[in-house]
């Protein structure tokens, strides 16, 4: 009897494993160095996987044509060094649309009545990670985003650790949203 499942047509390339789904579709599980629905695309500079710069936050890539790994800097972990290894509180901001945004993190440590500030100008497409001391009072922690002219455009309450945001829009129509802190 002829196999009529989607994987019977061998849709996956470079070799990849095909998995039949219950809804009649399939998923290709790509091997290192390939991507795409059918695993048909090599990573940029597929002959040398590290040339695609898979490591974040200053991680160093070591590898060859088929395997790579990141040697992560202090306080970073994970496949691409995107994870955090710290007792500090983390607030990550990614600028998706302001030409230039000045971000200010305002927080108070539980042992102090003085509010602390951290400032960072983030260009479009860039991101920045703020690290607050572990004894920060989250009930009085805020992220303030200013447009290029310095006009206050929005204030966001920090209510979890880690907290991650996208900011975008214009001076007249600022927008922000929580994002997954991968």
Q: Which residue has the higher pLDDT, 16 or 149?
A: 16
**Burial profile 23-58: b = 16 or more Cβ within 10 angstroms, e = fewer:** eeebebebeebbbeebbeeebeebeebbebebbbbe
Residue ranges making up the domain that contains 60: 44-85
Q: Does 105 score more than 70 pLDDT?
A: yes
In a domain, 164, yes or no: yes
pLDDT confidence bin for 27, thresholds 50/70/90: very high
For residue 113, what are the CA distances in angstroms to 131, 136, 137, 166, 181? 19, 11, 10, 30, 29
Q: Report the CATH number that the domain containing residue 170 is assigned in CATH.
A: 2.60.40.1430
Claim to verify: residue 130 and residue 63 sit in the same structural domain: no
Under 8 Å between Cβ of 39 and 16: yes
Claim to verify: residue 79 and residue 93 sit in the same structural domain: no
In a domain, 147, yes or no: yes
Q: Which two tokens stand for residue 39?
A: 């695993």
The residue with tokens 């009897």 is 1
Q: Which two tokens stand for residue 59?
A: 């991680």
Give the mean pLDDT of 48-54. 69
């Amino acid at each position: 009897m002829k196999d009529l499942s989607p994987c019977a047509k061998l849709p996956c390339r470079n070799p990849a494993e095909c998995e039949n789904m219950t809804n009649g579709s399939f998923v290709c599980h790509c091997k290192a160095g390939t991507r795409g629905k059918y695993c048909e695309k090599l990573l940029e500079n597929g002959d040398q996987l590290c040339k695609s710069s898979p490591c974040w936050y200053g991680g160093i890539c070591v590898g060859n044509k088929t395997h790579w790994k990141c040697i992560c800097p202090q306080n970073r972990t994970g496949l691409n060094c995107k994870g955090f290894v710290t007792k500090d509180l983390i607030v990550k901001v990614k600028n998706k649309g302001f030409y230039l945004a000045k971000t200010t993190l305002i927080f108070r440590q539980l042992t102090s009545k003085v509010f602390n500030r951290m400032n960072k100008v983030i260009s479009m497409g860039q991101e920045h990670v703020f690290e607050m001391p572990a004894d920060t009072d989250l009930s009085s922690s805020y992220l303030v985003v200013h447009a290029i002219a310095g006009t206050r455009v929005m204030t966001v309450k920090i209510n979890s650790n880690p907290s991650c945001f996208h900011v975008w829009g214009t001076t007249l129509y600022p927008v922000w949203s929580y994002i997954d802190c991968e």
